[in-house]
Amino acid sequence: MVKQVRVMHNVLVLAMLCFGLLWLVRGHIPSSPGAVAIGALLGLGYGGFYWSRLARRVVRRDRRFARNKIFVSFLSVFELAVLAAASSHVILIVLGLLLLVGMVLGLITGHWWIVVAGGFGLSTAATLAVGVLRYEHRHGPLHYQYDSRAWAGGEGLLYQTGQVIEPLTPAGRVMVNGESWNAVALGGEAIANGECVEVISRKGLTLYVDRLPV
């Protein structure tokens, strides 16, 4: 199974990190109402903009199985940062310098920028949460998932389409990418010879498929 993560999980992680950031400087928040307002307004605008872009990337809304996917190369910003740092010493140094710059700014400007950053992140997370929850209420859980469609091996078969060459009752055979596979209809119903199906998962040499929607 190709790894996936709930979109709401990432939103909650962002919210908790930003809440923790604000908690560290909670004594300065009452004296920085302007910073709180700026961060909240910027986060509200960015959160709405980001969700509008994210919603356009949702695929598979009309499917019975493996619905509501956003295909990505990385499941989180943290994963991207770790992989980038591990792949290049230069990137690791840049990330370290950015952290150092942030600490220096904190010493020079006090905690004003931290309040802005925390308010921005928390407001962004709240706006995203509203969008995600509204979507999930209508369509079901929304997931980020690795885009495996160009991968080699079994994972690359995921969501590929094929044709039934031996009726699925519910087991039979299908032809996918010019290869014949044992297959099982996930819904348990019979699928006639010649019908088009989609690969939902794979276990060993058996594909689990579903009839393509008309």
Torsion-angle region of 124 (φ positive above 0: left; ψ -120 to 50: alpha; else: beta) = alpha
- What is the average pLDDT across 1-15? 91
**Mapped to the 3 state alphabet, what secondary structure does 36-70 carry?**
HHHHHHHHHHHHHHHHHHHHHCCECCCCCCCCCEE
What the chain holds in terms of domains, given with CATH numbers, is 4-146 (no CATH), 158-211 (2.40.50.140)
pLDDT of 21 reads 85
Question: Does residue 86 surpass a pLDDT of 70?
Answer: no
In the beta sheet, which residues pair with residue 174?
Answer: 164, 181
Nearest Cα to Cα of residue 192 among 213, 160, 171, 164:
164
Question: Does residue 87 surpass a pLDDT of 70?
Answer: no
Structure tokens at 92: 């690791």
pLDDT of 110 reads 61
Question: Does residue 29 surpass a pLDDT of 80?
Answer: yes
d(CA 48, CA 63): 27
- Contact, 188 vs 64, CB < 8 A? no
pLDDT of 190 reads 94
Give rounded-to-5 percent helix, strand, coil for the chain: 50, 20, 25
What phi and psi values does residue 82 have, to the nearest 5 degrees?
-65, -45
- What is the average pLDDT across 75-83? 75
Span 142-169, pLDDT tens digits: 999 998 877 877 778 899 999 999 999 9
Question: Does residue 126 surpass a pLDDT of 90?
Answer: yes
- % of the chain at pLDDT higher than 70: 89
Question: Does residue 68 surpass a pLDDT of 70?
Answer: yes
- Specify the range with the lowest mean pLDDT, choosing from 86-90, 155-159, 208-212: 86-90
- What is the average pLDDT across 191-199? 94
